[in-house]
Chain A
Amino acid sequence: MRSFTYERAASPAAAAASVAARPGAKFIAGGTNLLDLMKLEIETPVHLVDVQDIGLDAVEDTEEGGLRIGTLVSNTALSAHPRVRRDYAVLTRAIQAGASGQLRNKATTGGNLLQRTRCSYFYDTNMPCNKRDPGSGCAGINGHSRQLGVIGTSDACIATYPGDMAVAMRVLDARVETMRPDGQARSIPLGEFHRLWGDTPHVETVLQPGEIITHVVLPPPPPGQHFYEKVRDRASYAFALVSVAAVIAPDGTGRVAFGGVAPRPWRVAAADAALPQGAGAVIAAAFADARPTEDNRFKIKLAERTLAGVLSQVRS
């Protein structure tokens, strides 16, 4: 771990200004991912701006009947919130499928959206990795890639966004609210928040330097049954090989997003539209452009069977 300086910001605007003013500065909230990466020198920020004092730790009802979630709301608190449990069960289930109780107590809503990939080669600073060290190459493409992405990847990087929470938020049509260093707010659809890797896999989101996540906004809950199925080798405390978040109405229409397969929670309009035709049609639409490796080709079949399992539980 490199030495760094540290400050605690008092407001979102002050935090954004501080990070923008210092090249190499980063925000820190729960630190459940960042600190680990710093210990391994995968992340080497020169300055940390701690945002735990900036407020933004409440879940509020919106006028439209949705929820506005402060960026510092912990995973534990969000998953246990009565309205989330009642109206957005897919989100509660997704959060509780991730990490451990201790980590969820510390992890925040905004931080969770920014957690980084779990590729073996990203985690080993001796190895080539375009995400960690742009231009050094990708050791994952012909290497240990069982856990890695099958779609939305590139010749530069086949890593995944590894989390669960965002996959549920994606089917809920969440938006990410931010504040830029100049004090301007903007609202970004979650589906556009994470970038596909392309030639610049080290640039993972559309956030600009110093831009801070302030809220995640959920529209009014969609009608239907909520599902989050996470598939993994061991029963807990593992990242998804594949996860499926879905909200399915009694008539079989609905929404579906996949985790563990792509640089972002993977949701395709044509796949949503194919839900009444069943899992095979959904997967054909969602994974039409898939580029799996020999190691992770099984994920497409797994996604189909996992979705079939979900659809088998739909009450019509």
Chain B
Amino acid sequence: MKFDSPAGDNLFDRARIVGKSTPRIDGARKVTGTAPYAYERHDVAAGQAYGWIVGSAIAKGRIVSMDLAEARAAPGVIAIVAATEHEPVGSSDFNFAPLFGGREVSHYHQAIACVVAETFEQARAAAGLIRTRYESADGAFDLKAAKPGAPIAMERGEPARSSVGDFDGAFAGSAVTVDETYTTPDEAHAMMEPHATIAAWDGDALTVWTSNQMVEWGRQALASILRMDADKIRVDSPFIGGGFGGKLFVRADAVMAALAAKAAKRPVKLALQRPLMFNNTTHRHATIQRVRIGADRDGRIAAMGHECWSGNITGEGPEDGTLQTPKLYAGAGRMTACYIAQLDLPEGNAMRAPGETPGHMALEVAMDELAEKLGIDPVELRIANDVKDRIPGGEQTKISDRHLTRCLREGAERFGWSKRSARPASRRNGRYLTGMGVAAGYRAAPARTSAARVGIDDAGRISVATDMTDIGTGSYTIIAQTAAECMGVPLDDVTVHLGDSRFPVSAGSGGQWGAASATAGVYAACVNLREAIAQKLGYDAARAEFADGRISGGGRSSALREAGAMSVDGEMSFGKFKQEYDIGTYAGHFVEVDVDVFTGEIRIRRMLAVCDAGRILNPLSARSQVIGGMVMAAGAALTEHLVVDKRFGFFANHDLAQYEVPVHADIPPQEVVFLDTLDPIISPLKAKGVGELGICGVGAAIANAAYNATGVRVRDYPLTLDKYLDRLPAV
């Protein structure tokens, strides 16, 4: 099925199940420990041995030798796969960092060996007996130092820059300007479940039970990396303990499990040890961003410029902080540019709202700075410059459905924004300075081809199978809701199977496209099943009603189960008409903070997000997505920082004691409001994703609140107290 024109009135506009707050259907399994995660799939293959991954002790250079004798002789050891004894594995289209093999080391904690033993403890103990000698090479690890010569990044073969009108002239001619530079650090996904895989071979066929957001990408990548036929690979990933982009790609766990299982001639299970995750896998790259905004004295923006520098290994892309800038605000003269330096750190890659997360942390602070210079309320400044109807320049000039101004207005009203003092450092509450901040949020709403299989059994129960994943987002539930709605059966009569590459290929979970895409694919399959049932029972599918487990039409009615067991596939693809539109999701984020006047500790007291994302398929799980994004943004604003040791070329604070993600005590009451909107351009369900909208803008709202509280503007994230101390009031 192809979605090639805007959605008209359809069954979702009369929905009884879609759009209703629905507890997750896999919730009981999750809280009873019966939803097995990759490392816990003890029953899928007999005789599982345990693997332990050894990471490189240097960031760049060469392995001179590996002495494996003592480790091989250690108790319980079955096999050791070592880089010096293995050709480099292949690469894939999805990521570039070498995953294993050969003597070259390109980043710290790159996998150099896997020890397989009868027990976990034996594997770990033996790994400690491997003696590796290295020859270190110099590398480039300092983004600031590499910035001056950094070339423009390339995106899809084109230079990553945009220009509309005359930015330089408009900026020079503006009465009021902001020209500031902001920095954001490298960040880690730090999801709860580490990368983990059980691998088993059956002849030349490989199965990996793993934790991966993108099953089909993973299957194709593994085939390319292991240089084998993709049809010989099965990837199964039904439950995933968080990903945030860190599990978009095949990582060393899957590769090493596959190689180790082959060497051991046994199924092998392993997980990337937590201290390895930070340097072995991908991360969000640090950015340096220059934002220039020019406006007239009434606050009309005439010039909007945003440049972003980040660094990565050769071949990999930038963290493009400019993405949201052309989409948010008007202004005749516009420019963006994204530069990329070559660094020898681990691979930077997608992390929740890649580009937009750090991009808002610069742009939306610059807007706050402009508002202050103009003496205009920051909410009003944003509303006055909201692009509203058309995005200037570029191809996607039409806007599908956008209510950013409403987000900001309604947010201001609900949050009590009028109580904010425009004068910084003017509200005191005991030992705390109190402030409020606002930011707008924009995140694109892509949708991708997605397929599903929908079946009915003799009892009239519906089953859905698709390789779509649920990374904690609630995919199981919205898919069940969609199928129940389409087939006219109660939610309890739908079972959902996800994450297996034997199922039809879905869009997977990434880029906030999963919900919109996967439900559209399920809808397409349901349409086919409705037709099959109607045909079997002699109804006109176009006119038949599906409700209460029955099909009705032409004055008669039959139970669906009378059609007998059958199953059909369906796929939704998306037509070219969408390319004329900018399809986005929008938010107004409001934050109140207290800053300890003595210590400079920033503590968030209230958070509100007002979100516009079309139909909200399941307000309960959508809210979870948004508050999760807000939590992650709190970490990005206040504490999270992969510290680059520029001498050794690695992230030094590589565990969860040192890389500080927020804890419960950091997170205040959070409020989320969804506007009641529909986007007919996105899909038949008129629903857009929210998983990344929740993080876009929140960091800047926190920073703006901290400024409002203290009068101290910090442009270097995270906003740790040491950056405030010297500028706080004397005590």
Name A's B-contacting residues (CB within 8 A).
Answer: 1-3, 39-41, 118, 120-121, 123-124, 126-127, 139, 142-144, 146-147, 229, 231-239, 241, 279, 298, 301-302, 305-306, 308-309, 312
Give min CB distance, B281 to chain A, whole Å: 17
Bound-complex Cα distance A128 to B29 (A): 46
Interface residues of B in 112-136 (CB under 8 A from A): 121, 124-125, 128
A234 with B598, Cβ < 8 A, contacts A40-B275, A309-B731 known: no
With both chains docked as a complex, state the minimum distance between the C-beta of A22 and any C-beta of chain B, in angstroms: 19
Contacts of A302 in B (CB 8 A): 599-600, 721-722, 725
- Chain A residue nearest to B601 in the complex (CB): A231
B403 within 8 A of partner (CB): no
| Contact A144–B643 (Cβ < 8 Å) | yes
Chain B residues with CB below 8 A from A231, complex form: 599, 601, 721
Q: Of all chain B residues, which has the CB nearest A306?
A: B599
* A312 surroundings in chain B (CB, below 8 A): 431, 598, 731
Cβ contacts under 8 Å, A121 to chain B: 652
Determine the chain A residues whose CB is within 8 A of the CB of B657 once the complex forms. 118, 239
Q: Quote the shortest CB–CB distance from A67 to chain B (angstroms).
A: 30
- Cβ contacts under 8 Å, B275 to chain A: 40, 123-124
Extra contacts, 7 of them, besides A121-B652, A234-B663 (Cβ < 8 A), are: A1-B125, A1-B128, A232-B601, A235-B665, A236-B665, A302-B600, A305-B728
In the assembled complex, B165 has its CB within 8 A of some CB on chain A: no
Partner of A233, one of B647, B664, B721: B721
Instruction: Mark interface residues in B683-727 (1 if CB within 8 Å of A CB, else 0).
Output: 000000000000000000000000000000000001011100110
Contacts of A233 in B (CB 8 A): 601, 638-639, 660, 718, 720-721
Chain B minimum-CB-distance residue to A308: B731
- Is B596 interfacial (CB-CB < 8 Å)? yes
B603 at the interface (CB under 8 A from A): yes
In whole angstroms, how far apart are the Cα atoms of A124 and B59 in the complex? 14
Closest to B604 in A: A235
Enumerate chain B residues within 8 angstroms of A126, measured Cβ to Cβ.
57-58
* CB-defined contacts of A39 to chain B, threshold 8 Å: 124
For the complex, give the distance between the alpha carbons of A234 and B656 in Å. 13
The yes or no answer to B398 lying at the interface (CB within 8 A) is no
In the bound complex, how far is the Cα of B90 from the Cα of A19, in angstroms?
Answer: 52
Q: With a CB–CB cut-off of 8 A, which chain A residues contact B722?
A: 146, 298, 302
A235: B residues at CB distance < 8 A: 601, 603, 663, 665-666
Question: Which among B603, B652, B660 is the interface contact of A238 at CB below 8 angstroms?
Answer: B660
Nearest Cβ distance between residue A217 and chain B, in whole angstroms?
31
Quick one: which of B75, B600, B655, B660 contacts A234, CB cutoff 8 A? Answer: B660
Which parts of B618-667 form the interface with A (CB within 8 Å)? 638-639, 643, 645, 647-648, 652-655, 657-658, 660, 662-666
Q: Collect the chain A residues with CB atoms within 8 Å of residue B599's CB.
A: 229, 231, 302, 305-306, 309
Q: Tell me which residues across on chain B come within 8 A of A279, comparing CB atoms.
A: 731
9 A/B residue pairs, CB under 8 Å, sorted by A: A3-B75, A124-B654, A126-B57, A139-B648, A147-B658, A233-B639, A235-B603, A298-B721, A306-B599
Asked if B731 contacts A305 (CB within 8 A), the reply is yes
- Which A residues are CB-close (under 8 A) to B431? 309, 312
- The interface bits of chain B over 380-419 (1 if a CB of A lies within 8 angstroms of the residue's CB, else 0) are 0000000000000000000000000000000000000000
CB distance from B14 to the nearest CB of A (A): 47
Q: Are A144 and B652 in contact (CB under 8 A)?
A: yes
Which chain A residue shows the least CB distance to B59? Answer: A126
* A207 vs B57: C-alpha distance when bound (angstroms): 34
B110 CB to nearest chain A CB (Å):
12
A302 and B731 alpha carbons, distance in the complex (Å):
11
Question: How many residues on B have C-beta within 8 angstroms of the other chain's C-beta atoms?
Answer: 41
Which chain B positions have C-beta within 8 A of A241? 721
* CB-based contact A3/B655 at 8 Å: no
Give Cα distance in the complex from A181 to B664, angstroms: 45
**Alpha-carbon distance between A147 and B660 when the two chains are bound, in angstroms:** 13
Interface of A is mostly: loop
Chain A residues whose CB sits within 8 angstroms of the CB of B731 once the complex forms: 279, 305, 308-309, 312
What number of residue pairs across chains A and B have CB atoms under 8 A from each other?
A: 105
Assembled-state Cα–Cα distance A233/B723 (Å): 12
Contacts of B666 in A (CB 8 A): 234-236
Q: Which among A3, A231, A232, A233 has the greatest number of chain B C-beta atoms within 10 A?
A: A233
Are B652 and A143 within 8 A (Cβ)?
Answer: yes
* Minimal Cβ-Cβ distance residue in B for A231: B599
A127-B725 contact given A236-B665, A305-B599, A306-B598, CB 8 Å threshold = no
Given contacts A144-B645, A234-B666, contact A3 B654 (CB under 8 A): no
Q: Could you say which of A120, A139, A237, A306 contacts B653, with CB atoms under 8 Å apart?
A: A120
Residues in A with CB closer than 8 Å to B652 are: 120-121, 124, 143-144
A1-B121, A2-B128 known; A123 vs B665 contact (CB < 8 Å):
no
Q: Determine the distance from Cα of A123 to Cα of B274 in the docked complex, in whole angstroms.
A: 13
Q: Shortest CB–CB separation between residue B119 and chain A, in angstroms?
A: 12
**B601 shortest CB reach to chain A, Å:** 6
3 A-B pairs closest in CB distance: A309-B598, A126-B57, A235-B665
Q: Which residues of chain A are within 8 angstroms of B660 by Cβ–Cβ distance? A: 233-234, 238
- How far apart sit A41 and B129, CA to CA, in the bound complex (Å)? 11
Residue in B128, B654, B662 whose Cβ sees the most chain A Cβ within 10 Å? B128
B638 x A234 contact (CB < 8 A): yes
Q: Which of B531-570 contact A (CB under 8 A)?
A: none
Which residues in B have their C-beta under 8 angstroms from that of A305? 598-600, 725, 728, 731
A236 to B664, CA, bound (A): 8
Question: How far is B601's CA from A226's CA once the two chains are assembled, in angstroms?
Answer: 22
CA distance A142 to B645 in the complex (A): 9
How distant is the Cα of A146 from the Cα of B721 in the complex, in angstroms? 12
Q: How far is the CA of A305 from the CA of B720 in the complex (A)?
A: 15
Q: Is the CB of B645 within 8 A of A143?
A: yes
Q: Which of A2, A127, A236, A237 gathers the greatest number of chain B CB atoms within 10 Å?
A: A237
Q: Is the CB of B638 within 8 A of A3?
A: no
Query: How far, in Å, is A251 (CB) from chain B's closest CB?
Result: 21
Residues of B within 8 A of A143 (CB): 645, 647-648, 652
Q: In the assembly, what is the distance between CA of A124 and CA of B664, in Å?
A: 28
A164 CB to nearest chain B CB (Å): 15
Most chain A C-beta atoms within 10 Å of own C-beta, residue among B601, B638, B662? B601
Closest to B75 in A: A3
A22 to B614 CA separation, bound complex (whole angstroms): 69
Point out which of A121, A126, A232, A309 has the most chain B C-beta atoms below 10 A from its C-beta: A126
Q: Least Cβ distance of B321 to chain A in Å? A: 24
- For A301, the chain B residues whose CB sits under 8 A away are 725-726
Partner of A308, one of B58, B598, B645: B598
A118–B662 Cα distance when bound, in Å, is: 19
* Distance between A250 CB and nearest chain B CB, rounded to angstroms: 21
Q: How far is the CB of B722 from chain A (nearest CB, A)?
A: 4
Bound-complex Cα distance A121 to B58 (A): 14
A120 B598 Cβ-Cβ under 8 A? no
Contact of B124 among A1, A124, A144, A234 (CB under 8 A): A1
CB of A144 within 8 A of CB of B653, answer yes
Closest beta carbon of chain A to B661's beta carbon, Å: 8
In whole angstroms, what is the CA distance A1 to B119 when docked? 13
- For B658, give its contact among A120, A127, A139 (CB under 8 Å): A120
Nearest to B74 among chain A residues (CB) is A3
Query: What residue in chain B is nearest A242 (Cβ atoms)?
Result: B599
Q: Which B residues lie within 8 Å of A3 (CB)?
A: 75, 125
User: Which single member of A142, A229, A308 contacts B647 (CB below 8 Å)?
Assistant: A142
A300–B568 CA distance with the chains assembled, in angstroms = 70
The docked-state distance in angstroms from the alpha carbon of A39 to that of B275 is 11
Q: How far is the CA of A309 from the CA of B730 in the complex (A)?
A: 11
Q: How far is the CA of A9 from the CA of B720 in the complex (A)?
A: 46
A37 to B501, CA, bound (A): 40
Contact A123 B128 (CB under 8 A): no
In the bound assembly, the distance between CA atoms of A302 and B599 in angstroms comes to 6
- C-alpha gap A41/B721 in the complex (Å): 34
B592-624 vs A, Cβ < 8 Å mask (1 yes, 0 no)? 000010111101000000000000000000000
Closest to B726 in A: A301
Q: With the chains together, A305 CA to B601 CA distance in Å?
A: 12
